[in-house]
Chains A and B, each alone.
Chain A
Amino acid sequence: MNSNKPSTIDLVNRNLQKRYRAEKRFQIFGIASIGFGLLCLLVLFTDIVSKGAGAFTSHYIQLTVNLDPDDLDITDITDESQLALADYQGVVRKALRDKFPDVKKRGDRRKLYGLVSNSAGFRLQEILKNDPEKLGEQLTLWVLADDDIDTYAKSKNDAEPFTGRLNDKQIGWVNTLLDSGEMQSRFNRVLFTSGDSREPEMAGIRGALLGSLYTLLVTLVLSFPIGVAAAVYLEEYAPKNKFTDFIEVNINNLAAVPSIIYGLLGLAIFINFFGMPRSIPLVGGLVLTLMTLPTIIISSRAAIKSVPPSIRQAALGLGASKMQVILHHVLPLAMPGMLTGAIIGMAQALGETAPLLMIGMVAFIVDIPQSIMDPATVLPVQIYLWSDSPERAFTERTSGAIIVLLAFLILMNTIAVLLRRRLERRW
């Protein structure tokens, strides 16, 4: 008709350029978002790792101690009370004096004794308890350095080494020991084998780690079956009426309730009403179950909803009962989605602090919990407690504990992904 009018193909081509540009922009936006996320993660990780890496090593000092019965004040090795009250500290001090015979003044000597951790005495006690034959022998062993000494040794080569309350003499001794190889940095086993302690060099996360494990175990064992059962009932059996709508609204609400409220609820119900003990993983797990249930129910319902209706129809058409349809077809197909929900819930529970504070899992607990009935704390609470401590060594351990928590999380999520992939073989 009109020769000026561009042909359709020209219009399409012109538009095509625009579409390509729009697509490019769209992609760049996505890449930028991911880049930003990765950058934040990188900053977080480098910060924590640079601060926390030191927590995984600590300095040990080599001492030659003489387990002399007279020095120790032990006349009868079979007497437990003698063994408990023996003067191990004195033996350690003697060993230190032997190492630095020139130190004579009382004040200096006290500073000298401060080089090693109090744990050295406990070490000796343990050795004698396990092997009474050692009494009277001379032992060469590596004992933990005091936390300030350790911190100084670690920062020695920094631009501004940490000196804290150390005086020049102490620094001199440490340098001598380091040069002669009698003081060495080793893997910090204590971090993984001990519970909390007031002394940073003796403080470990084993108690918190086990506390977290027990708490999560209780949470998982309770919340997954209950959540799935609730979701199956609501999706498959519940009549659609005002009452179920009401339940649905409430479940969605509960998912958004601040977690501290669950802590208050747990305190009121489990501790005050049922009289359960404070600070135990069982109560912690119950509280976290209340908290994670909505998440699990909501994601399980979504997973059940996404099972294709044609599969149900096929099974029903063959004469399967409702329960058979659910057990044979719906649940296996929904399982990956349900597991994802459960893992998200567990990850939330692992990082949760506030509700556990309310039920007393914030107490200072040295003993390592042996069961879900022993008082315990959990990793995030331990992190919170340590971050509040003034000692420089605790700052380091705080970051160390965060690294362990992150590793725990990564492990959990990896297992989840692997499990999912196995179950998700959708053919």
Chain B
Amino acid sequence: MNMATNTAETIGDNHQTVGTPFVDNAKLSMRNVNVFYGEKQAIFDVGMDIGTNEVMAMIGPSGCGKSTFLRCLNRMNDTIEGCRVEGDLNLEGEDIYGAKLDVVPLRARVGIVFQKPNPFPKSIYDNIAYGPRIHGLVSKRTELDEIVETSLQKAGLWNEVKDRLDAPGTGLSGGQQQRLCIARTIAVSPEVILMDEPCSALDPIATAKIEELIAELSENYTIAIVTHSMQQAARVSNRTAYFHLGKLIEVNETEKVFTNPDHQLTEAYITGRFG
């Protein structure tokens, strides 16, 4: 507690994010983002870009606002009572919080995978088919079958479940469920996938599979991933953002963050002095 207040003072009120928060080919660009839960501010003046087909890792101590920030990117914060977001957030130049924007297509473009696997209590097939159905992406059953198959294949789950598509999604193992959730998210062909600690409930083997999957997906999708595992961040991401007490301290090439960070707080965190 003591240290937390000390470090807050070291950041200061008008701190500058160090490193390279902005890029040229930005898919998502955020400027001066502030997020409040009621009176309490959780995110302070964060600005950064996430490049097209980039994997951006977000790390930081518990409670620093990683999930809060991630949820801003497809307006999942709207579902939280008392949560208020200020600032400019753009998806390919479109204002995410603009009055004209409809969250339904936004969330189809920016999908999210949660920390705990949360398949619907329906069959594996219906889990994947739900998104395409509600968005009216297909008109024929065969097209839907195809989407289900390719999504499961991309999520590396097809071979394990192809014979039991009618079995309940909740009957799969934790790792399989999480891959099912990823397949469900990519079934609507989003441009961006947000992942909030997608491997925290999984064993090392399942985690390795998901990490492999992220590497494959990054060829076609833009991915923002929150993680507590620095090894994971180092393995999967191109750039890494370090958050601290609601402030964005540093954004840099992943390799640089883990070998030679620009900010002392980042260094303190990655060397395990707190977190």
Binding site for B on A (CB under 8 A): 240, 308, 310-321, 324, 328-329, 333, 426-427
Contacts and interface: CB of A to CB of B under 8 A. Distances in A.
Interface stretch (B38-46, B117-125, B237-245): B117-125
Contacts of A318: 107-108, 111, 130-131, 134, 184-185, 188
B118 A319 contact: no
Given A318-B131, A319-B188, A427-B168, A311 B107 contact: no
A113 B167 CA distance: 74
Interface of A is mostly: helix
A85 B252 CA distance: 108
Interface string B77-99: 00101000000000000000000
B135 interface: yes
A310 B177 CA distance: 13
Residue among B105, B111, B118 with most chain A CB within 10 A: B118
A333 B121 contact: yes
B120 A315 contact: yes
A321 B120 CA distance: 16
A329 B120 CA distance: 8
B121 A316 contact: no
Given A318-B130, A319-B107, A427-B168, A313 B114 contact: yes
Given A240-B81, A427-B121, A427-B169, A317 B74 contact: yes
Given A310-B114, A329-B120, A427-B121, A316 B134 contact: no
Interface residues of B, number: 31
Contact of B134 (A240, A312, A324, A426): A324
B157 interface: no
Nearest to A312: B79
Nearest to A332: B121
B111 A317 contact: yes
B275 interface: no
A240 to B, nearest CB: 7
Nearest to B133: A328
Given A311-B118, A427-B121, A316 B79 contact: yes
Interface in B158-195: 168-171, 181, 184-185, 188
Contacts of A317: 74, 76, 107, 111-112, 114, 185
A327 to B, nearest CB: 10
A319 B184 CA distance: 12
Given A318-B111, A318-B130, A426 B104 contact: no
A187 B118 CA distance: 59
A203 B111 CA distance: 69
B116 interface: yes
Contact of A319 (B108, B121, B169): B108
A318 B194 CA distance: 12
B120 A316 contact: no
Given A315-B130, A316-B79, 8 more contacts: A240-B81, A312-B79, A314-B184, A316-B76, A319-B106, A319-B134, A319-B188, A426-B121
A314 B184 CA distance: 10
Interface string B230-260: 0000000000000000000000000000000
Contacts of B130: 315, 318, 320, 328
Contacts of B118: 308, 310-311, 313-314
A319 B134 CA distance: 8
Contacts of A240: 81
A328 B130 CA distance: 10
Contacts of B181: 314
10 contacts: A312-B79, A314-B119, A316-B79, A318-B111, A318-B134, A319-B105, A333-B121, A426-B121, A426-B170, A427-B168
A319 B76 contact: no
B46 to A, nearest CB: 22
A316 B81 contact: no
B171 A319 contact: no
A23 to B, nearest CB: 33
Contacts of B121: 311, 333, 426-427
B73 to A, nearest CB: 11
A334 to B, nearest CB: 12
Contacts of A319: 103-108, 131, 134-135, 188
Contacts of A324: 134
Contacts of B104: 319-321
A319 B74 CA distance: 10
A318 B109 CA distance: 9
A170 to B, nearest CB: 71
Nearest to A329: B120
Nearest to B116: A310
Q: Which of A240, A310, A318 has the most CB of B within 10 A?
A: A318
Interface centre among B104, B108, B181 (most CB of A within 10 A): B104
B135 to A, nearest CB: 6
Contact of B79 (A313, A329, A426): A313
> Shortest 3 CB-CB distances between A and B: which pairs?
A427-B168, A319-B107, A310-B118
Contacts of B188: 318-319
A315 B122 CA distance: 12
A313 B184 CA distance: 13
B76 A427 contact: no
A266 to B, nearest CB: 39
